[in-house]
Amino acid sequence: MFMAKRKESGKKEEQGKTKKPVNKVEAASKKGRTAQKTVDISGWKPKTELGKKVKNREITNIDEILDNSLRILELEIVDALLNLEQDLLLIGQSKGKFGGGSRRVFRQTQKKTREGNKPKFSTIAVVGDKNGHVGIGFGKSKETVPAREKAIRKAKLNIFKIRRGCGSWECGCGEPHSIPFTVTGKCGSVEIKLIPAPKGKGLCCEKEIAKILELAGVKDVWTKTRGQTKNKVNFVYSCEDALRKLVKTKVQPEHFNTLAIAEGSLAEEQAQEEKEEGKEGKEGTEETKGTAQK
Ligand SMILES: [Zn+2]
């Protein structure tokens, strides 16, 4: 009798448990897909030395922190220095009838226990300023909302800068719209090779990888992959590995100009100047062409 009762109650609990989180998943995923603007940091009380320096505006550029490999322990530091956009990657799939399987922000996993199944939710967040800085974070929790918050927090603390450039032999425009050289990244069985592409080509890669590259500020790239790319977690990590290699790789000084390498973010003034120079250059060439034709 006792066993039977226990089983019944267990079943009821299971039903209750399984039904509740599904609704939360839907609500949270809808929220997560829209790119949110970052919160203001006026009420922030810094706890670390680095945080205090940022708050007092002794440090105004994130590259000072990243170049000296100082540890960022407060996400407000990143919020204060960069204008970030965030996105969640589709790493899971929905459960249910008719095969389920539609792609979803949260990956749902279960542990079998005597009381019933204990579900957990995990997700991967990407933050970036679309100007040479990205961060990727993995968050896992019993509920969906804390998982998302953990992921975003980790992504902000994990922020790193990339090198952009124009490494395609078909282009040679001298603007940092692509990557300067080919890099490969690996995680588990997944290998990804990022190849510089000419201007206007777009991001020729898987959709979740494209989200990362877009937030990093890369506009044109070709990719080649190998291994179990359906495992999105390893796939995303391999892309992070490849992007980190852009800065790790040693470049000879004369190649900085030929490949138009830009490290980290381009200052707005610089970018404008470059655009103006580019326009002037183009106009100049057109004029010269015109005169030549005449
Ligand atoms: Zn180019």
pLDDT in tens, 82-128: 888 999 999 988 887 777 778 899 999 999 999 999 999 999 999 99
149 & 23 share domain: yes
Rounded to whole angstroms, the Cα distance separating 262 from 93 reads 38
21 & 117 share domain: yes
Residue at 281 is within a domain: no
pLDDT of residue 95: 81
The residue type at 70: L
247 & 197 share domain: yes
Q: Using a cut of 0.85, tell me whether the model's pTM lies above it.
A: no
149 & 185 share domain: no
The phi and psi torsions of 18 (rounded to 5 degrees) equal -70, -35
pLDDT of residue 12: 44
The phi and psi torsions of 217 (rounded to 5 degrees) equal 100, 10
Q: 33 alpha carbon to ligand 1 midpoint, in Å? A: 31
Domain that holds residue 174: 163-263
**What CATH number is associated with residue 188?**
3.30.230.10
Q: 207 alpha carbon to ligand 1 midpoint, in Å? A: 23
Instruction: List per-residue pLDDT tens for the chain, 294 residues long.
Output: 444 444 444 444 444 444 444 444 444 444 444 444 545 667 788 888 888 888 888 888 888 888 888 888 988 888 888 888 999 999 988 887 777 778 899 999 999 999 999 999 999 999 999 889 999 999 999 999 999 999 999 999 999 999 999 988 888 788 899 999 999 999 999 999 999 999 999 999 999 999 999 999 999 999 999 999 989 999 999 999 999 999 999 988 888 888 888 887 776 545 555 555 555 444 444 444 444 443
21 & 134 share domain: yes
Domain count, the chain: 2
253 & 171 share domain: yes
Contact (CB, 8 A) for 204 and 146: no
231 & 175 share domain: yes
Choosing from 105, 133, 158, the residue where a domain stops is 158
Q: 63 alpha carbon to ligand 1 midpoint, in Å? A: 25
Residue at 169 is within a domain: yes
pLDDT of residue 285: 42
Q: 88 alpha carbon to ligand 1 midpoint, in Å? A: 29
15 & 142 share domain: yes
Q: 149 alpha carbon to ligand 1 midpoint, in Å? A: 37
- Contacts with 48 (C-beta within 8 Å, 6 or more apart), sequence order: 73, 74
Residue at 1 is within a domain: no
Choosing from 158, 174, 193, the residue where a domain stops is 158
Contact (CB, 8 A) for 165 and 159: no
Residue at 290 is within a domain: no
Q: 219 alpha carbon to ligand 1 midpoint, in Å? A: 10
Q: 90 alpha carbon to ligand 1 midpoint, in Å? A: 31
Q: 82 alpha carbon to ligand 1 midpoint, in Å? A: 26
For the beta carbon of residue 204, count every other beta carbon within 10 angstroms.
13
Contact (CB, 8 A) for 214 and 187: no
- pLDDT tens digit sequence for 161-184: 999 999 888 887 888 999 999 999
Rounded to whole angstroms, the Cα distance separating 238 from 186 reads 4
pLDDT of residue 2: 47
The phi and psi torsions of 200 (rounded to 5 degrees) equal 90, -5
Which residues are registered as beta bridge partners of 124?
89, 138
SS3 content of the chain, % helix, strand, coil (to 5): 40, 20, 35
Q: 181 alpha carbon to ligand 1 midpoint, in Å? A: 12
